Amino acid sequence: MFASDRLALAERYTELLATEGVLRGLIGPREAPRLWERHVLNSAVLGEAVPDGASVCDVGTGAGLPGLVLAIARPDLAVTLVEPLLRRTTFLDEVVAELELSHVTVVRGRAEDLHGTATFDIVTSRAVAPLERLLGWSMPLVSPTGATVAMKGRSVHDEIAETRGFLSTWRCGEPEVFEVGAGLLDPPTTVVRVPWADPSRIGWPLARNPKRRPGRRDRSAVEREVS
Protein backbone atom coordinates (compact mmCIF):
# COMPACT_ATOMS: atom_id res chain seq x y z
CA MET A 1 0.00 0.00 0.00
CA PHE A 2 2.71 2.48 1.10
CA ALA A 3 6.33 1.59 0.50
CA SER A 4 8.65 2.12 3.46
CA ASP A 5 10.06 5.31 1.96
CA ARG A 6 6.55 6.75 1.42
CA LEU A 7 4.97 5.89 4.77
CA ALA A 8 6.26 8.97 6.59
CA LEU A 9 4.77 11.18 3.87
CA ALA A 10 1.39 9.49 4.25
CA GLU A 11 1.51 9.90 8.01
CA ARG A 12 2.39 13.59 7.72
CA TYR A 13 -0.46 14.18 5.25
CA THR A 14 -2.86 12.47 7.65
CA GLU A 15 -1.58 14.65 10.48
CA LEU A 16 -2.17 17.78 8.39
CA LEU A 17 -5.69 16.62 7.58
CA ALA A 18 -6.43 16.05 11.27
CA THR A 19 -5.13 19.48 12.27
CA GLU A 20 -5.17 22.11 9.53
CA GLY A 21 -7.86 20.19 7.62
CA VAL A 22 -10.23 20.35 10.57
CA LEU A 23 -9.39 23.98 11.42
CA ARG A 24 -10.11 25.03 7.83
CA GLY A 25 -13.34 23.08 7.60
CA LEU A 26 -12.02 20.55 5.08
CA ILE A 27 -12.58 17.57 7.35
CA GLY A 28 -15.27 17.17 10.01
CA PRO A 29 -13.97 16.96 13.61
CA ARG A 30 -15.58 13.54 14.06
CA GLU A 31 -13.61 12.19 11.11
CA ALA A 32 -10.21 13.13 12.53
CA PRO A 33 -9.74 10.04 14.75
CA ARG A 34 -10.47 7.66 11.88
CA LEU A 35 -8.79 9.42 8.97
CA TRP A 36 -6.14 6.75 8.47
CA GLU A 37 -8.49 3.75 8.28
CA ARG A 38 -11.58 5.37 6.75
CA HIS A 39 -10.04 7.80 4.28
CA VAL A 40 -6.31 7.44 3.66
CA LEU A 41 -6.01 3.66 3.37
CA ASN A 42 -9.36 3.57 1.58
CA SER A 43 -7.90 5.88 -1.05
CA ALA A 44 -4.45 4.29 -1.23
CA VAL A 45 -5.77 0.92 -2.37
CA LEU A 46 -7.21 2.58 -5.48
CA GLY A 47 -3.66 2.32 -6.78
CA GLU A 48 -4.43 -1.33 -7.56
CA ALA A 49 -6.62 -0.05 -10.43
CA VAL A 50 -4.08 2.44 -11.84
CA PRO A 51 -1.41 1.25 -14.31
CA ASP A 52 2.27 2.07 -13.91
CA GLY A 53 3.36 5.50 -15.09
CA ALA A 54 -0.17 6.72 -15.77
CA SER A 55 -1.31 10.32 -15.95
CA VAL A 56 -4.12 10.75 -13.41
CA CYS A 57 -6.71 13.48 -12.97
CA ASP A 58 -8.65 13.52 -9.69
CA VAL A 59 -11.84 15.55 -10.13
CA GLY A 60 -13.46 17.17 -7.12
CA THR A 61 -10.46 16.14 -5.06
CA GLY A 62 -11.45 18.17 -1.99
CA ALA A 63 -8.69 17.79 0.57
CA GLY A 64 -6.85 15.36 -1.72
CA LEU A 65 -8.88 12.16 -1.49
CA PRO A 66 -8.08 9.99 -3.34
CA GLY A 67 -5.73 11.86 -5.68
CA LEU A 68 -3.15 13.17 -3.24
CA VAL A 69 -3.01 9.84 -1.43
CA LEU A 70 -2.40 8.10 -4.77
CA ALA A 71 0.42 10.54 -5.49
CA ILE A 72 2.02 9.83 -2.12
CA ALA A 73 1.79 6.08 -2.59
CA ARG A 74 2.74 6.10 -6.29
CA PRO A 75 5.58 8.48 -7.27
CA ASP A 76 5.48 6.93 -10.76
CA LEU A 77 2.19 8.72 -11.50
CA ALA A 78 1.71 12.24 -12.89
CA VAL A 79 -1.25 13.48 -10.84
CA THR A 80 -3.46 16.52 -11.45
CA LEU A 81 -5.78 17.52 -8.60
CA VAL A 82 -8.85 19.50 -9.73
CA GLU A 83 -10.84 21.41 -7.12
CA PRO A 84 -12.90 24.63 -7.45
CA LEU A 85 -12.73 25.94 -3.85
CA LEU A 86 -9.82 28.22 -2.99
CA ARG A 87 -9.49 27.14 0.65
CA ARG A 88 -9.06 23.55 -0.50
CA THR A 89 -6.55 24.28 -3.27
CA THR A 90 -4.58 26.47 -0.85
CA PHE A 91 -4.32 23.51 1.53
CA LEU A 92 -3.37 21.17 -1.31
CA ASP A 93 -0.66 23.54 -2.56
CA GLU A 94 0.80 23.71 0.95
CA VAL A 95 0.82 19.93 1.35
CA VAL A 96 2.36 19.37 -2.09
CA ALA A 97 5.10 21.88 -1.28
CA GLU A 98 5.85 20.51 2.19
CA LEU A 99 5.96 16.88 1.02
CA GLU A 100 7.92 17.86 -2.12
CA LEU A 101 5.54 16.05 -4.47
CA SER A 102 6.98 17.31 -7.74
CA HIS A 103 4.77 14.96 -9.75
CA VAL A 104 1.56 16.66 -8.54
CA THR A 105 -0.21 19.67 -10.05
CA VAL A 106 -3.06 21.47 -8.27
CA VAL A 107 -5.64 23.16 -10.49
CA ARG A 108 -8.31 25.44 -9.09
CA GLY A 109 -11.35 24.91 -11.29
CA ARG A 110 -14.02 22.45 -12.29
CA ALA A 111 -13.59 19.37 -14.44
CA GLU A 112 -15.51 21.11 -17.23
CA ASP A 113 -12.81 23.80 -17.38
CA LEU A 114 -10.39 21.18 -18.72
CA HIS A 115 -12.76 19.74 -21.35
CA GLY A 116 -11.12 20.01 -24.76
CA THR A 117 -7.84 21.04 -23.14
CA ALA A 118 -6.38 17.85 -21.72
CA THR A 119 -6.90 14.10 -21.46
CA PHE A 120 -5.53 11.58 -18.98
CA ASP A 121 -4.98 7.83 -18.74
CA ILE A 122 -7.10 7.62 -15.59
CA VAL A 123 -9.71 10.01 -14.18
CA THR A 124 -10.50 9.31 -10.52
CA SER A 125 -13.07 10.53 -8.02
CA ARG A 126 -14.45 9.68 -4.60
CA ALA A 127 -18.05 10.33 -3.55
CA VAL A 128 -18.40 13.25 -5.97
CA ALA A 129 -21.74 12.71 -7.75
CA PRO A 130 -24.16 10.07 -9.11
CA LEU A 131 -22.56 8.05 -11.91
CA GLU A 132 -24.24 9.68 -14.91
CA ARG A 133 -23.34 13.20 -13.80
CA LEU A 134 -19.86 12.07 -12.83
CA LEU A 135 -19.24 10.54 -16.25
CA GLY A 136 -20.42 13.75 -17.89
CA TRP A 137 -17.59 15.53 -16.10
CA SER A 138 -14.99 12.77 -16.33
CA MET A 139 -15.24 11.06 -19.73
CA PRO A 140 -14.23 14.15 -21.77
CA LEU A 141 -10.97 14.00 -19.80
CA VAL A 142 -10.34 10.32 -20.56
CA SER A 143 -7.82 9.51 -23.30
CA PRO A 144 -8.89 7.04 -26.03
CA THR A 145 -7.30 4.10 -24.22
CA GLY A 146 -7.95 5.39 -20.71
CA ALA A 147 -10.82 5.06 -18.24
CA THR A 148 -12.78 6.69 -15.48
CA VAL A 149 -12.06 4.89 -12.20
CA ALA A 150 -14.46 6.01 -9.48
CA MET A 151 -14.79 4.94 -5.87
CA LYS A 152 -18.44 4.05 -5.27
CA GLY A 153 -20.76 2.55 -2.68
CA ARG A 154 -22.87 -0.57 -2.79
CA SER A 155 -25.58 1.15 -4.87
CA VAL A 156 -23.24 1.32 -7.86
CA HIS A 157 -25.14 -1.37 -9.78
CA ASP A 158 -28.34 0.68 -9.50
CA GLU A 159 -26.45 3.74 -10.73
CA ILE A 160 -25.16 1.78 -13.72
CA ALA A 161 -28.69 0.66 -14.60
CA GLU A 162 -29.86 4.29 -14.50
CA THR A 163 -26.95 5.34 -16.76
CA ARG A 164 -27.50 2.92 -19.65
CA GLY A 165 -28.82 5.59 -22.02
CA PHE A 166 -25.85 7.85 -21.35
CA LEU A 167 -23.36 5.01 -21.81
CA SER A 168 -24.87 4.13 -25.19
CA THR A 169 -25.18 7.70 -26.46
CA TRP A 170 -21.56 8.56 -25.71
CA ARG A 171 -20.13 5.17 -26.75
CA CYS A 172 -18.78 4.33 -23.33
CA GLY A 173 -17.63 0.78 -22.66
CA GLU A 174 -19.31 -1.61 -20.26
CA PRO A 175 -18.74 -0.54 -16.66
CA GLU A 176 -16.68 -2.97 -14.61
CA VAL A 177 -17.34 -3.15 -10.87
CA PHE A 178 -14.68 -4.67 -8.64
CA GLU A 179 -13.09 -4.35 -5.21
CA VAL A 180 -9.63 -3.16 -4.26
CA GLY A 181 -7.93 -3.64 -0.93
CA ALA A 182 -9.26 -7.16 -0.36
CA GLY A 183 -7.40 -8.67 2.59
CA LEU A 184 -6.18 -5.22 3.63
CA LEU A 185 -9.42 -3.38 4.36
CA ASP A 186 -12.71 -4.51 5.86
CA PRO A 187 -14.76 -3.87 3.85
CA PRO A 188 -12.71 -3.47 0.66
CA THR A 189 -13.18 -0.38 -1.52
CA THR A 190 -15.74 -0.70 -4.33
CA VAL A 191 -14.64 0.75 -7.66
CA VAL A 192 -16.33 1.18 -11.04
CA ARG A 193 -14.17 1.43 -14.15
CA VAL A 194 -15.63 2.90 -17.36
CA PRO A 195 -13.48 2.96 -20.54
CA TRP A 196 -14.44 3.99 -24.07
CA ALA A 197 -16.14 1.19 -26.01
CA ASP A 198 -13.92 1.74 -29.06
CA PRO A 199 -10.83 3.97 -28.77
CA SER A 200 -11.09 4.78 -32.49
CA ARG A 201 -14.73 5.94 -32.21
CA ILE A 202 -14.95 8.05 -29.07
CA GLY A 203 -18.40 9.56 -28.70
CA TRP A 204 -17.21 12.76 -27.05
CA PRO A 205 -15.52 15.17 -29.51
CA LEU A 206 -13.71 17.02 -26.71
CA ALA A 207 -11.95 13.84 -25.65
CA ARG A 208 -11.28 12.82 -29.23
CA ASN A 209 -9.37 15.98 -30.15
CA PRO A 210 -7.64 17.35 -27.05
CA LYS A 211 -5.38 20.38 -27.45
CA ARG A 212 -2.90 19.01 -24.96
CA ARG A 213 -2.30 15.84 -22.97
CA PRO A 214 -0.49 16.78 -19.77
CA GLY A 215 2.13 14.57 -18.24
CA ARG A 216 5.15 14.83 -16.05
CA ARG A 217 6.87 17.41 -18.30
CA ASP A 218 4.03 19.87 -19.03
CA ARG A 219 1.78 19.92 -15.97
CA SER A 220 1.87 23.75 -15.92
CA ALA A 221 0.03 23.78 -19.23
CA VAL A 222 -3.18 22.82 -17.51
CA GLU A 223 -2.83 25.66 -15.05
CA ARG A 224 -2.27 28.15 -17.87
CA GLU A 225 -5.38 26.96 -19.72
CA VAL A 226 -7.61 27.23 -16.64
CA SER A 227 -6.28 30.52 -15.27
Tell me whether residue 180 is in a domain.
Answer: yes
Tell me whether residue 15 is in a domain.
Answer: yes
d(CA 179, CA 189): 5
Give the number of residues written for the chain.
227
Q: Give the model's pLDDT for residue 143.
A: 95
Task: Read off the pLDDT of residues 54-96 as tens digits, 9 standing for 90 and up.
Answer: 999 999 999 999 999 999 999 999 999 999 999 999 999 999 9
Q: Name the percent of the chain lying above pLDDT 90.
A: 79
Q: Give the model's pLDDT for residue 209.
A: 53
Whole domain around residue 210: which residue ranges? 7-217
Tell me whether residue 225 is in a domain.
Answer: no
Is 3 known to sit in a ligand binding site?
Answer: no
**Taking all residues of the chain, what is their mean pLDDT, rounded to a whole number?**
90
Q: Give the model's pLDDT for residue 202.
A: 84
Query: Coil, strand or helix: which one is 63?
Result: coil
- pLDDT tier at 206 (50, 70, 90 boundaries)? low
Quick check: 220 pLDDT over 80? no
Nearest to 59 by CA among 39, 86, 79: 79
- pLDDT tier at 219 (50, 70, 90 boundaries)? very low
**Is residue 25 within 8 Å of residue 32, measured between CB atoms?**
no
- pLDDT tier at 208 (50, 70, 90 boundaries)? low
**Is this structure's pTM higher than 0.85?**
yes
Task: Read off the pLDDT of residues 87-110 as tens digits, 9 standing for 90 and up.
Answer: 999 999 999 999 999 999 999 999
Q: Give the model's pLDDT for residue 223.
A: 42
Task: Read off the pLDDT of residues 112-130 as tens digits, 9 standing for 90 and up.
Answer: 999 989 999 999 999 889 9
Domain count, the chain: 1
In SS3 terms, 71-140 reads as HHHCCCCEEEEEECCHHHHHHHHHHHHHHCCCCEEEEECCHHHHCCCCCEEEEEEECCCCHHHHHHHHHH
Is 126 known to sit in a ligand binding site?
Answer: yes
Is 147 known to sit in a ligand binding site?
Answer: no
Q: Give the model's pLDDT for residue 222.
A: 42
Helix, strand, coil shares of the chain, percent, nearest 5, are 45, 20, 35
Q: What is the CATH number of the domain that holds 139?
A: 3.40.50.150
Q: Give the model's pLDDT for residue 226.
A: 40
Tell me whether residue 66 is in a domain.
Answer: yes
Is 24 known to sit in a ligand binding site?
Answer: no
Tell me whether residue 223 is in a domain.
Answer: no
Quick check: 5 pLDDT over 90? yes
Residue 174: count other Cβ atoms within 10 Å of its Cβ.
10
d(CA 170, CA 139): 9
**Cα-flanking dihedrals φ and ψ of residue 7, to 5°?**
-65, -40
d(CA 45, CA 23): 27
Is 44 known to sit in a ligand binding site?
Answer: no
Tell me whether residue 222 is in a domain.
Answer: no
Q: Give the model's pLDDT for residue 214.
A: 46
d(CA 13, CA 85): 19
Q: Tell me what the mean pLDDT of segment 151-156 comes to.
A: 91
Tell me whether residue 227 is in a domain.
Answer: no
